[in-house]
Chain A
Amino acid sequence: ETGVTQTPRHLVMGMTNKKSLKCEQHLGHNAMYWYKQSAKKPLELMFVYNFKEQTENNSVPSRFSPECPNSSHLFLHLHTLQPEDSALYLCASSQDPQAATNEKLFFGSGTQLSVL
């Protein structure tokens, strides 16, 4: 148990559906991240939040919409996804933002998303 909890663990959705992924960290960290892990690519950073403020959007399509209501919770809202968006979506947290200092990330177990 890393202290970062993601739900759901698995999600199957159609291209017209709207769904949300949830992440909660119990570590008292200030920064939270969304990563995408595909079978044939290294981990791809999507979004970074520092003290609830978005500090990085790594050219992610608008069909992915993050939300960070407080420093412990992070959501990823999904709308009109494409089959190529099928992947493992990982949430992570760190004490301070990586862009400010070298920090290790603590990952959740991810949500395995399949878009039909």
Chain B
Amino acid sequence: GESVGLHLPTLSVQEGDNSIINCAYSNSASDYFIWYKQESGKGPQFIIDIRSNMDKRQGQRVTVLLNKTVKHLSLQIAATQPGDSAVYFCAENNAGNMLTFGGGTRLMVKP
């Protein structure tokens, strides 16, 4: 899940399984959402984005789902690999404002 605070939630999955990382956003006016991946010692890297006129978008091995009714965003990673181990951030935005980042979820992939 998503957390802003003193600890980073952790999701531990077995290599080859699917991963689902969740994010609850706060602003009902947000109309653009991004998922970032941050590996140790690196800056956040763009994974996938989605606009509010869509509820699903697919990339390579990743899918983002948007539920505007409950203000929920999720990132699904298919066939999780060790290289997917990282911290994943969601970010929300609406025109005229800056991206607001969540606290992140740590994904650990067990071999």
Contacts and interface: CB of A to CB of B under 8 A. Distances in A.
A73 to B, nearest CB: 17
Interface of B: 4-6, 31-32, 34, 36, 41-46, 49, 51, 89, 93-99, 101-104
Contacts of B5: 40
A116 interface: no
Overall SS of chain B's interface: loop
Contacts of A98: 93, 97-99
- When A and B form their complex, which 3 residue pairs have the shortest distance between CB atoms, in order from nearest? A107-B43, A102-B32, A43-B101
A42 B104 contact: yes
A99 B49 contact: no
Interface of A: 2, 4, 6, 40-43, 45, 48, 56, 90, 92, 98-102, 104-110
A107 B44 contact: yes
Contacts of B49: 104
